[in-house]
Structure 1
Amino acid sequence: MEQFTYTYKTTEPITKKVHIGVVGSGDLEILLFPTDKQETSVKVCTGSDGFKDVWHNVLTRFFDRYPISADMVINDFGATPGVVYLRLTQAMEELSDEK
C-alpha cells in the first residue's frame, strides 16, 4: 500500500462536499471538501504499489483542465488510469449540478 500527496495551484473554489465511487476491486472513491486556499491538496491511498508517476500524470492532466480548489482524498483499489479520470470527471459533473 502506498500513500502520497500532491498540491496543485488552482483558482476555482468549490462550495460543497462531493463523494464519488466506492473502494472496491478495480475502482476507487473520491472525496472533495471545500477549502479557502487557492490550491488543491490531493491525498492518494492506493493498494497498488509503483504507480506514483502515473498518478501524477493523470492528476496533472485533470487539474490543467479543471483548476478547482479543494481538499481531495482518493482511496484506490486498483483502478486503471481511465477509471481514475472517469471518477474525477464524475466529480466535476456533481459539482456542476449545484449551479
Structure 2
Amino acid sequence: METLAYRFEQGSRALPAQAQVVGVVGSGNLEVLIESASLGGACTIDISTAAVGFGATWEAVMRDFHERWQLKDARIAINDMGATPAVVSLRLDQAVQTMLGDAP
C-alpha cells in the first residue's frame, strides 16, 4: 500500500456540511469520502492505494480535479484498489455532484 497526500490552496467553491461516500473498494475500483472541513480555504486529498509507484499519475489526476472544481474547505479520502485514472476522475466528480445536488 502507498499513501499520498495533496493540498490545494485558494479554492472558491464550498461544499454543504454533510459527508458523502461514492464507490466501493473492490478489485479495480475505489471509494471516495468527501466532507466539508475548516481548512482555511484549502482542499486536502489523502489517498491509500494498492497501486504503488504511480505518484505522478495521481498528482496529475488530482490537479485536474482541483482545476475543474476549485473546492475550498474540503477534505477528501480515497481508498483505491487499482482503479484507472478515468475511474478516479469519475468517482471524484460523482462525489462532488452528489453533494452539490448536480448528480446526472
With the shorter chain as reference, the TM-score category is over 0.9
Deviating 4+ runs (over 2 angstroms): none
Task: Confirm or deny that 1:57 pairs with 2:60.
Answer: yes
The corresponding residue for 1:83 is 87
Are 2:2 and 1:2 equivalent residues in the alignment? Answer: yes
Partner of 1:24: 26
CA distance in 2, matches of 1:26, 1:19: 17
Asked if 1 retains the 8 angstrom alpha-carbon contact of 2:15 and 2:100, the reply is: no
After superposition, give the CA deviation of every residue in 1:45-96 in whole Å (9 maximum; x if it has no partner): 0001010100000010010010112111000000000100110111122022
Query: How far apart in 1 are the matches of 2:101 and 2:90?
Result: 17
| CA–CA separation in structure 2 for the residues paired with 1:72 and 1:85 | 13
Secondary structure at the residue paired with 2:90?
A: helix
1:39 corresponds to = 42
- Counterpart in 1 of 2:14? 13
Gaps of 5+ in 2: none
| Structure 1: gaps of 5 or more residues | none
Secondary structure, in 3 states, of the residue corresponding to 1:13?
Answer: coil
Give the alignment's Cα RMSD to 1 decimal: 1.2
Deviations 1:3-40 (A, max 9, x none): 01000111222122110001101100000111122001
Amino acid at match of 1:33: E
Number of equivalenced pairs = 98
Higher strand share: 1
TM-score by length of 2: 0.89
Percent of aligned positions that are identical? 35
TM-score for both structures, normalised by structure 1:
0.93
